[in-house]
Amino acid sequence: MSSAPTMAGLPLLRERPVRAGERWVFSAGFNVGPALADTTRIDCEVPDLLRLARAGARVAVLAHQGSHRDGTARSLEYVAGHLGRVLGREVGYHPGSTGDGAVERALALRDGEVVLFGNTRHHAGEEAGDPELARRFALLGDLVAVGGFSKAHRAHASNTGILHHRPGWAADSLLAETAALAPWAGRAPGTRSVAVLGGVKPEKTLIGLRRLAETYDVVVPGGVVLTTLLRVLGHKVGRSELGSSPGKCAEAASRVLAGSRAEIHLPERVVVRGPGGDARTVDLADGVPADHAIVDFELPARTRETLRQLREHGGRALMAGTPSRWTDGFGAAARPLLDAFAGPGVRALLLGGDTVAELPWNGPVSGGGGSALQYLADGTCAVFDALRSQHSTGRTATP
């Protein structure tokens, strides 16, 4: 794990003079639901977008939301409305992002105009990094500003794919996000370090558990990280959520259980919910009933002691992924963790889209979940590597 990630070799938007009339694609990550519960991922792009627009650039914004695979990708009109309000200028919306209509709309942009194009995840090829889709996205502009830290760890058509066709520069939003993560990177000798992992995405186990177990003192697993660990240890987990990559996650969890620097705090009692929605707390030793799922857990004594010490002596803490089903009213694990995180000497960070949107927290946040974990683990992400590589070779293909 790198404690001093470097931006060396990265082409920076702030160092690229912007001229009136230039056609820019701005690659963003507006993966925010229509309730706009947390708008960090939109608001963080405002300074870069304003710089482009004020210089007279013609800006086509390309963003992803939801997923094509599970049908959760929506029209982004609600994002255009919010973006217009925070930019203080009108932001148009064009529902498509490829094809003649989209290209015509992009060619008709006026100097200083910002238009949000359709959700890139309306296309199956976005998440697959389809080169043909990337080529079609590239027709919306001549130059690419790369923001969207939340998808920096993905090699998708709209962020790394498009760089095969157009020169790209890293937006200041990427630099701000990575700089803000520095206190949580690497080991922190002499500082108590506590990582809470949860949620449902496999990165929390594949990157978070695996890598933070090397650099933090205590890992408190929740969500799918917890159910995976319990299953690997031979507990019956009933119908508990195991996420989209149970096999790979089980492998990673086994390796961590075989030996890690961090103490992995597992609960003794978990809250389970049955098919009728009834919830109760059971001893893990008794197993989770076959038709029940773990939705929350009680913090074990040693975690409560760790939190007491954190509050009393300070330290460093992060939470990646909601540890329990908070939005269904289950807060037994999350509440005391957040209370301790808010302690005066505690430097605490919440990261991830859902985590930040749903939990009550006024402290530091990162707009990336998987991307932030990836960056903390490796000091880089797919999009930084793609930008560097393009910059060093200077190669782009005509779309």
Ligand X SMILES: O=C(OP(=O)(O)O)[C@H](O)COP(=O)(O)O
Query: Residue 150: which of 305, 366, 301 has the closest Cα?
Result: 366
Neighbouring C-beta atoms of residue 151, cutoff 10 Å: 29
Type and span of the H or E element at 311 = helix 301-313
Helices then strands (H, E): number in the chain? 16, 15
- Secondary structure class of 333 (helix, strand, coil): coil
Query: Residue 90: which of 101, 103, 81 has the closest Cα?
Result: 81
Query: Residue 50: which of 30, 78, 26 has the closest Cα?
Result: 26
Shortest distance in whole angstroms from residue 342 CB to ligand X: 22
Shortest distance in whole angstroms from residue 353 CB to ligand X: 4
Binding pattern to ligand ADP, positions 32-71, x when CB under 6 A?
A: ----------------------------------------
Query: Residue 50: which of 83, 22, 10 has the closest Cα?
Result: 83
Query: Could you tell me if residue 255 is left (phi over 0), alpha (psi between -120 and 50 degrees) or otherwise beta?
Result: alpha
The verdict on 369 binding ligand X (CB under 6 A) reads yes
CA dihedral 238, 243, 244, 250 (to 10 degrees): -80
The verdict on 150 binding ligand X (CB under 6 A) reads yes
Residue nearest to ligand X (CB): 369
Q: With CB under 6 A as the rule, give the number of residues binding ligand ADP.
A: 22
Residues 7-36 that bind ligand X (CB under 6 A): 29, 31
Stretch that binds ligand ADP, among 36-44, 60-68, 298-306, 317-325 (CB under 6 A): 317-325
Cα–Cα distances in Å, from 386 out to 45, 78, 139, 157, 229?
Answer: 20, 30, 19, 12, 34
Positive or negative: CA dihedral 193, 199, 200, 203: negative
Task: Tell me the C-alpha distance between 367 and 350, whole Å.
Answer: 9
Per partner kind, with CB cut-offs from 5 to 8 A, the member of ligand ADP, ligand X, none near residue 154 is ligand X
Per partner kind, with CB cut-offs from 5 to 8 A, the member of ligand X, ligand ADP, none near residue 198 is ligand ADP
Stretch that binds ligand X, among 146-154, 163-171, 206-214, 341-349 (CB under 6 A): 146-154
Stretch that binds ligand X, among 78-86, 256-264, 307-315, 367-375 (CB under 6 A): 367-375
Which residue, 197 or 386, is less far from ligand ADP as judged by CB?
197
Per partner kind, with CB cut-offs from 5 to 8 A, the member of ligand X, ligand ADP, none near residue 168 is none
Shortest distance in whole angstroms from residue 181 CB to ligand ADP: 15
Residues at the contact surface with ligand X, assessed by CB under 6 A? 29, 31, 67, 150-151, 154, 201, 352-353, 368-370
Q: Which residues are near ligand ADP by CB under 6 A?
A: 198-201, 204, 222-223, 241, 294-295, 321-322, 324-327, 352-355, 358, 369
